Structure formats: C-alpha cells, structure tokens
Amino acid sequence: MLRKLSDVLRKASTGWVTLVATLIFFLFVALVAPGQAQKAEEVSGEAGTPDLSFFYTPDDLYHMAESYGEQGRQDYVRARFTFDLAFPLVYTFFLVTAISWLFGRAFPPGSRWQYANLAPLAAILLDFGENITTSLVMARYPAQTPIIAALAPVFTATKWVMVGASILLLIIGLAAVIGKGISERTR
C-alpha cells in the first residue's frame, strides 16, 4: 500500500506540479505566515505557543491556556482550524512534490529512496494530531484532559522530527540530483 502511494505521488509530481507547489509554498510563507505569526504573538505573549515549541509538558500547556485567557484560547482554537489547517497542506504539497521530483531523477525507480516522499505525510498527520489535542486542551480549559494533554507534546515533538527529516531529505535529493548532473557532464 505504501509503495503504491509513493508511486502515485511520484508520478503526480511532474516538473510543473512541483513548480506550482514551490510557488504556493513560498508565497504562503511570504504573504500569509507573517500576519499569522503576529496574531499568534499577540495571543500567546510571553507564554509561547505549543506549535512552535519542540518540547513542552502538559503543565506547560495548561500554563499557556491560562495565560491566553478566554479570548486567546478561542483565537488559538480558531487558528488551528484555519491557518494551521492550510499551512500543513501547503508545506506537505511542497515537500511531497519536491522530494518526489528530485528523488525520481536521482535514484532508480525500484530504489528504496523513492519512499522518501512519504515522510511529509507523517509530518502532516502528526501536525493535525497536535492541532486536535492542543485545541481540545484549550477549548476545555480549565477542565483537565490529562491523556490529551500528555499526547499533545508527543505529537508536537514527532511532528518537528518528521518536518526536519523531510527538509533533510529534500536537501539530500537536491544534492543527489546535482551530483548526478555533475557526474554525467564529466563523463
């Protein structure tokens, strides 16, 4: 099943699709993300935000919920199901297509490296898990949700690991394509 999914993603990631995904990603980062970051800063203040943390505890999450206040918690939940729903879709589209396109040129079709295009899919699922768990904690505050609060930091940390791994794979793919091009030119 994963092989078929990887193959479908690789076949769909033509040069034009990858170019469009790249443009959408950079336009989103340049035009949408700064405004959202400012809004998040206004809500979170000194308390920080779980989305941008690598590690936090359930107590840290409850402290953030308390610091945000009622309106801040509502704003936080709204942002998780608007901006933070769109951004993972955008970065996943970019990473999946770019990795698929690069690895499709750098490695033979049967290579295990072709499965690298699945890493961003793990990242988006973890990101959505983070959004759901942190939003539940915020929405229910001051009521305690211990299991959900304990899962939130796990989703966040593993999301960042998978996003970082996806970016590393993108760099590896780019280096492999460049290396292959140099090797072919020197023959």
CA proximity to 79, closest of 47, 42, 110, 120: 42
CA proximity to 131, closest of 56, 94, 76: 76
Residue 187 per-residue DSSP state: -
Tens of pLDDT along the chain (187 residues) come to: 899 999 999 999 999 999 999 999 999 999 998 888 888 787 777 778 898 899 999 999 999 999 999 999 999 999 999 888 999 999 999 999 999 999 999 999 889 999 999 999 999 999 999 999 999 999 999 999 999 999 999 999 999 999 999 999 999 999 999 998 888 888 7
Give the H/E segment covering residue 79: helix 58-80
Q: What is the largest CA-CA distance in the chain?
A: 68
What's the pLDDT score for residue 39? 81
What's the pLDDT score for residue 122? 98
